[in-house]
């Protein structure tokens, strides 16, 4: 059971939305629901009245406009505004659904301005290179975790901050979650310089209150890089996780 959109436990399910706020000063976003998987479409109400969006804290309501929604054909489109932004970052919002009763329509009407694009999780990322956040050893000159790939490969790094985030001592609304991720900034460093050719930052996705997926690609064989993910938390902390990326092509001669 998650935090609920109104502070109760009536909303039983939610999925993260990743807002691409890497550039510009927009304060609104649009999300196409068509790419969401069966978990969403099998559990959302037929009329979409149970849809709610909150800020990254899972409680503070954002303003929602449902432009279209059809559960039979599995298409839908939402405009969202009035949420916390972090410049140059990917922002996490929450889309709630599956109400235990019959909620009133949560959609309002407004004229959108310039919008960012928001993405829902269309699949569970259960394959990739896991990096679990932990403080580095004193005096260490390289990160503990190592990811190896070829120069022609594109791979995922799954960053897990679960053990770093604060929890309630006792369940609140049937959840122990207290501190959650709010935004993320991803770099791939070589001698402190960000290597933009080695990443597709807009592909970064939140898919859990404490987990972020990033994509790395390309690179020069025989070169070591340092992927670096900086996240903010709902408790106001800033955490940085790093790993060592070794790009190495196999010599078959």
Residue found by looking up tokens 């889309």 in the block:
95
Overall domain count for the chain: 2
Residues 49 and 140 in one domain: no
Is 210 inside any structural domain? yes
**Domain shared by 111 and 133, yes or no:** no
133 and 108 belong to one structural domain: no
Check: CB of residue 231 under 8 Å from CB of residue 238: yes
The values of phi and psi at residue 198, to 5°, are -95, 10
Q: pLDDT 10s per residue in the chain (253 long)?
A: 344 445 556 888 888 999 999 887 888 999 999 988 888 999 999 999 999 999 888 888 899 999 999 999 999 999 999 988 888 889 999 999 988 888 888 899 999 888 998 988 765 556 678 898 887 777 667 788 899 999 999 999 999 998 888 776 665 555 666 688 899 999 999 988 999 999 988 888 888 778 899 999 999 999 999 999 999 998 889 999 999 999 998 876 5
Please check whether residues 157 and 87 belong to one and the same domain.
no
Same domain, 133 and 183: yes
Q: Which residues form the domain of 167? A: 129-247
What is the rounded CA–CA span in Å between residue 64 and residue 110? 9
pTM over 0.85? The answer is no
Burial of 128 (0-12, 13-18, 19+ CB in 10 A): middle
Shared domain for 149 and 232, answered yes or no, is yes
List beta partners, residue 190: 193
DSSP state of 151: T
Q: Is residue 3 part of a domain?
A: no
d(CA 99, CA 45): 8
């Amino acid at each position: 059971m998650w935090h609920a959109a109104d502070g109760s436990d009536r909303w039983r399910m939610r999925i993260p939305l990743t807002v691409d706020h890497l550039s510009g000063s927009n304060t609104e976003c649009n999300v196409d629901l068509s790419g969401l998987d069966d978990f969403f479409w099998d559990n959302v109400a037929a009329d979409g009245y149970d849809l709610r969006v909150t800020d990254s804290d899972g409680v503070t309501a954002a303003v929602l406009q449902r432009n279209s929604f059809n559960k039979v054909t599995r298409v839908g489109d939402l405009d969202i505004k009035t949420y916390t932004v972090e410049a140059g970052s990917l922002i996490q919002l929450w889309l709630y659904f599956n109400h235990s009763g019959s909620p009133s329509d949560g959609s309002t009407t407004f004229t959108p301005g310039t919008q960012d694009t928001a993405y829902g999780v269309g699949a569970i990322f259960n394959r990739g290179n896991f990096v679990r956040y932990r403080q580095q050893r004193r005096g260490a000159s390289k990160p503990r975790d190592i990811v190896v790939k070829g120069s022609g490969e594109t791979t995922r790094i799954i960053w897990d901050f679960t053990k770093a985030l604060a929890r309630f001592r006792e369940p609140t609304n049937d959840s122990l979650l207290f501190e959650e991720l709010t935004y993320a900034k991803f770099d791939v460093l070589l001698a402190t310089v960000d290597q933009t050719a080695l990443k597709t930052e807009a592909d970064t996705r939140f898919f859990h209150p404490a987990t972020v997926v990033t994509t790395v690609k390309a690179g020069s064989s025989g070169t070591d890089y340092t992927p670096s993910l900086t996240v903010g938390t709902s408790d106001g902390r800033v955490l940085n996780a790093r790993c060592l990326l070794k790009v190495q092509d196999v010599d078959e001669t």
